[in-house]
Structure 1
């Protein structure tokens, strides 16, 4: 057994996922539920009214919903749970399926392995016009706790249910179907770079690889589910483990041991509270913190000598993740509750720090 609970990194990147392990649902449809690690509370959105009374955009293509639904069901049927979350083997099979779809419409396609067996799918199509990047991610969060079959793609009342249906296989299906129709109809009026990325839910390895290649584009559409509203600010995230270490003993003589679970219970309230005065962002509000996993003990008749918790701290613009972690560590370890525990409290350094983001109000483009 490793020195931390199974399922390291559960929940993914700052962004979200269709259906959380807690809510158990993931769907694509109108008014979609964000769910998972980073829901509406982590995003500040700006409504943009349609121009011209909602008339079709000049040069737009019309895609039959049935073709999108069939493609989405196909993509949902291919498991692509991020392997860092303790399930599955990653995005490889889905990447090959997306690559095949792109080849069929005549794109130049290649797979760029970012992590072992986990490639980004990159493609170019179109010879003239402005350069447009279309991007969505291939991986999903885990399926534990879902109340629907995760890979069946069941349609009920106009919504398709399954892991990743909303985040972001619906975006992949919509982009692929639109691109296919634009090519078929001869109405593709730009040069498209298509990027389907791995590891968005944990470490952003696919996004980092794409950024490192410095793609030259004039505009970009990223397939995160936002109900087609512009996102002008977004919370960041910091994730780390805290461990209490005690002393094992037989449960018939607990006085001879030091119970690590009891020690953790003593400090859990401090780990899940942002101390006053809490900083506030005018759009995102206050930062939050949550204990999201716990594991401890080795047997029913043994005083536990180890207990771990996983802490998820959401950051607002202006906060430094490492400084926040150090302040929380000092607050907990210097507390009376920690001093009363006969064992030790140990903070692991954050394995993920993703800063918050916001677009200045003076920006000319979002």
Structure 2
């Protein structure tokens, strides 16, 4: 049986509630292989559509979490919600189909996205059905495929209800506060399958991360008399130049390549004719080797050396900058990838894996459909065939984890 426009039309008759945003519905190409069965394919498309259509930019995840909770509860799952940072509008979701909340297998991903919101669209060309919209890859594709794979195995009696639980968290795209909060749930699974876009391969690891804000302090003055002040912008520029030179000297590894520095956001001053009193930059370092502590010390040393020239007699102890680290950061993360039949990949982005405390002997896998190269962009999209393949691959990972 081939998919056709009837697949999209049939979504309106499913048990799922209407999406929270306008959805452009177009026919699905008849050339799509029906690898997981038409019923499961329809449910997969519908679930994926509703997740994307419900805007869930980090900090605004309540609606999508509530919808997903209701959907799983309708299927008979037990739902526990957890406030994040004591905020009742930001909820992690723990769901389990049996009586055991602390199952041997935990399947997890995140339900927040980066801004801005892009609406759901689906269209077909001669060979593919393409689904786009914010979160269509990162990471609502993983969420939808994980749920369908789990439900399919339960329906086929290949998975026992007490063997598995799902954990979907908020805040991954910002500081990982959702997953860090999940440590309080005191879950002790033997295996965790995390979902992020890995191009349908198992990730063997990802780079570490150290993020910080660099604040520069000056003294305001009229731009016609700059010697009466000190430009925070000049202090900042000098410090950033030193960091760019430092990036060429930071540790490398065969597995993860080079440690990189990204200057993501710069602000400073109030007007072109005023010597800037304040300036700042937000910076992210992707660590290929070494520890955040080691690299943080090198950052301090480079910035201090670069800004010493701005000290004036009698003001040697005056603060010209401060470095505010966004947490402790983490070193490169090695991930289990010992499952036959999967290709492997290393990725440069961060995940929630280091935010969840690891138990001795615990196995951790990272897999998901779609490419990180289109995630966070205005052309984020995934093919239906990749989404369906992910269901099959998650089934393999689930069965491997419990074997």
Q: TM-score, normalised by structure 2?
A: 0.65
The 3-state SS of whatever aligns with 2:149 is: helix
Matches within 5 A, 1:151-166: 151-157=118-124, 158-166=129-137
**Counterpart among 98, 112, 122 of residue 82 in structure 2:** 112
Q: 1:357 to 1:61 in 2, by over 3 A?
A: farther
Is it true that 1:228 corresponds to 2:196 in the alignment?
Answer: no
Q: Does 1:270 pair with 2:242?
A: yes
Give 1:103 deviation, angstroms: 0.5
Shift of 1:333: 1.0
Q: Does 1:169 align with 2:146?
A: no
Superimposed CA distance per residue, residues 81-124 of structure 1 (whole angstroms, 9 cap, x where no aligned partner): 113xxxxxx21111111101111111011211122121111111
What is aligned with 2:291? 320
Residue 279 (structure 1) shift: 2.1
Match of 2:168?
A: 196
Task: Name the count of aligned residue pairs.
Answer: 293
- Is 2:329 aligned against 1:351? no
Check 1:278–1:251 CA distance in 2 against 1; reply closer, same or farther (3 A cut).
closer
1:327-360: CA deviation from partner (whole Å, max 9, x where unpaired): 211122123x641576854132312313321258
Q: In the alignment, does 2:57 pair up with 1:81?
A: yes
Judging by fraction of residues, say which structure has more helix: 2
Residues 127/348 of structure 1: CA separation in 2 closer, same or farther (3 Å cut): same
Per-residue CA deviations over 1:190-224 (Å, capped at 9, x if unaligned) read: 52201111121222222223334332434332111
> Which blocks of at least 5 consecutive residues in structure 2 are unaligned?
1-34, 313-317, 339-360, 366-403
Please say if 1:94 is aligned against 2:64: yes
What displacement does 1:180 show? 4.1
- Aligned residue for 1:165, secondary structure, equals coil
Give the one of 278, 294, 304 matched to 1:333. 304
Give 1 or 2 for the bigger CA radius of gyration: 2
Q: Aligned pair in 2 of structure 1 residues 251, 227: CA closer, same or farther (>3 Å)?
A: same
Matches within 5 A, 1:1-366: 64-83=40-59, 90-115=60-85, 116=87, 117-126=89-98, 131-143=104-116, 150-157=117-124, 158-183=129-154, 188-190=159-161, 191-274=163-246, 277-317=249-289, 319-335=290-306, 338-340=308-310, 345-352=320-327, 353-359=329-335
Q: What does the per-residue CA deviation read over 1:124-182, in whole Å, with 9 as the maximum and x for residues that have no partner?
A: 11469x84322111111222xxxxxx341112453222222211111112223334444
Instruction: Show structure 1 runs of 5+ residues with no match.
Output: 1-55, 84-89, 144-149
Q: Is the alpha carbon distance of 1:361 and 1:123 closer, same or farther for their aligned partners in structure 2, counting shifts above 3 Å? A: closer
1:237 deviates by 0.6
How much does 1:303 deviate?
1.9
Distance 1:63 1:221, change over 3 A: farther
1:235–1:355 CA contact under 8 A, matched in 2: yes
Structure 1 contact 266–338 (Cα < 8 Å) conserved: no
Alignment RMSD, CA only?
Answer: 3.0
Q: Is the 8 A contact 2:191 2:362 kept in 1?
A: no
